[in-house]
Amino acid sequence: MKIPILAILVTGFCALVAVAQSEEAQPRKIDQKEYSLGETDAQRDLKQGKIVYEIVGQPSMIDQELTQIALKEYGISVKFHGCMAGPRIDYDQGYLDTVVAHLKKKFSFDPVLKVERDLRTKSREQDGGGNSAALRASP
């Protein structure tokens, strides 16, 4: 019983942080230099065979299985950053956009989103349609 309550509290905290960030945030310019650095680093990693998919958000109950499936079936290393984006938002976005574009070119879809969707569907079916972990915003 403690784990679902903790999961709800963590999810609620992340939602509050996201709302607070969005209320403070004014439309801002993208730092193209940082974005390009993220793209360049992702391209270098991809050429070396490293596929790192970084997600901003706390891992949910299914995400341990998600990381295992993504690595085993698609060779993707999934990392989580917690509720708040790092200090290099544009770098992180450039990196992720490059990785997602590579995956869509290679598989014709985003494998991490597919695995996550499949696991959430499986979780809902096992719960009998009851509550499952709150969906996080994914790129």
Within-domain flag for 23: yes
Instruction: Report how many domains make up the chain.
Output: 1
Within-domain flag for 137: no
Within-domain flag for 14: yes
- pLDDT given at position 51: 96
Q: Could you list the residue range(s) of the whole structural domain that residue 120 is in?
A: 2-126
- pLDDT given at position 25: 57
Q: Which of 57, 84, 60, 71 is nearest to 112 (CA)?
A: 71
- pLDDT given at position 66: 92
- For 64-82, the pLDDT digits (tens) are 899 999 999 999 999 987 7
- For 13-59, the pLDDT digits (tens) are 454 445 445 555 567 788 899 999 999 999 999 999 999 999 887 77
Q: Residue 39 and residue 37: Cα distance in Å, rounded?
A: 5
- pLDDT given at position 10: 47
